[in-house]
Amino acid sequence: MPPLDTRRGAASGADAWNTTLDRANSDVVLIVDDVPDNLSVLHDALDESGYTVLIATSGEAALQTAATAVPDIVLLDAMMPGMDGFEVARRLKALPLTAHIPIVFMTGLTETEYLVAALESGGVDYVTKPIKPKEVLARMQVHLRGARERRQTRNALDAFGYATITVRASDGALMWQTPLARELLERYCGTQAPTTPEPVLTWLRRGLQKLAQGEPPKLSIERGATRLTFRLHQQTGDSDATAEDGDWLIVMREVSDTAVIEAMSLCFKLTAKEAEVLYWVVKGKTNKDIGDILGSSPMTVKKHLERIFVKMGVETRTAAAGMAMTRIRQLHPQFEG
């Protein structure tokens, strides 16, 4: 049997997957087993049930296939020559691209220690040999349904302009991210998967410790007049995992206060620079801080403030900030001062 197979015939590389996988109409299943008879029985049963089937006969081939095709689920033989199934599972779970894929182990070893090893290495379930196709199909459908629901949730969030990431709380690994999330994390934090930005990880772990008291407050990372907000959405993956060990879906959104600055300018008849200075006064920044942000001296900021006070009819920065905040809240209720 060739190392790879699909409903539409044998394939041998990424180009073949791009043209043969029909993800819109069927789930993609990767079967990993070094025994041809096992592969044949499962392949035929899954093919008849409408799945797109990929085959790998070794651990190395399984990793390559999973990274290229990103199947919806993996049926993994526990005992294979060379790299065994336990190591394959650990490596798949260590990669952000494949960490979300459910793994169902197939094993003839029924001793408790092997079954525990299967689950600890990243499996969500197991079936014992000799393989019973109907049992495998039933187990698969349960895990595919959960994976499909999580995928629909992420797609819905993306459609409304939200970026999403999944972080494993136990070790802080960033397990999954949308393209927009990748771009935002690189721009705001300078990090790439599997590294979770330290402020995000600290916020997540502190929030999980107080989860019983309610959803933790949002995290904001500011970059000029824009900020990236993080909100804890839901726990994903293994429902039996504790909050501190589980995978968490985090929703991110970039918020710009450019419209707020423009509104300040119009409301109080300020110049663009004066409106920027007032914006940072509302944010509680000192003259020195504002000078550093805007690339000017504290003395220049002070002169801008003097003109702002005259135009607004106030005498102190506290009064100016209070008046500006009241007006901004009327125009932009979502503004975070």
Angstrom distance (rounded) from CA 98 to CA 102? 9
* pLDDT given at position 239: 55
Residues lower than pLDDT 50 in the chain: 1-19
Cβ contact 79:107 at 8 Å: yes
Q: How far apart are CA 267 and CA 280, in angstroms?
A: 16
The region that residue 109 occupies, defined by phi over 0 for left and psi between -120 and 50 for alpha, beta otherwise, is: beta
The strands making up 125-128's β-sheet, listed across from edge to edge, are 52-56, 28-32, 73-77, 103-107, 125-128
Measured CA angle at 213 (ends 209, 214), to 5 deg: 100
pLDDT at 120: 84
Alpha carbon distance 117, 261 (integer Å): 57
Give the pLDDT confidence score for residue 152 in this predicted structure: 75
pLDDT score for 219: 93
Which 8-state DSSP code applies to residue 151?
A: H
Backbone angles phi, psi at 335, to 5 degrees: -65, 135
Q: DSSP states of 161-204 as a string?
A: T-EEEEEETTTTEEEEE-HHHHHHHHHHH---TTBPPHHHHHHH
Q: Which domains does the chain have, with CATH numbers?
A: 5-153 (3.40.50.2300), 161-256 (3.30.450.20), 258-331 (1.10.10.10)
Write down the pLDDT at residue 4.
Answer: 40
C-alpha pair distances (Å), 176 with each of 119, 196, 236, 237, 239: 20, 11, 11, 12, 18
Q: Are 248 and 204 in contact (CB under 8 A)?
A: yes
Report pLDDT for 7. Answer: 36
Question: Scanning the structure block, which residue is given the tokens 């663009």?
Answer: 272
DSSP secondary structure string, 280-302? HHHTT--HHHHHHHHTS-HHHHH
Mapping DSSP to helix (H, G, I), strand (E, B) and coil, where does residue 243 land?
coil
Full 3-state SS string of 68-102: HHCCCEEEEECCCCCCCHHHHHHHHHHCCCCCCCC
Decide if 129 contacts 107 (C-beta within 8 A).
yes
Residue 44 near residue 59 (C-beta atoms within 8 A): no
Which residue is associated with the tokens 């550093």?
A: 292
CB 169 within 8 A of CB 248: yes
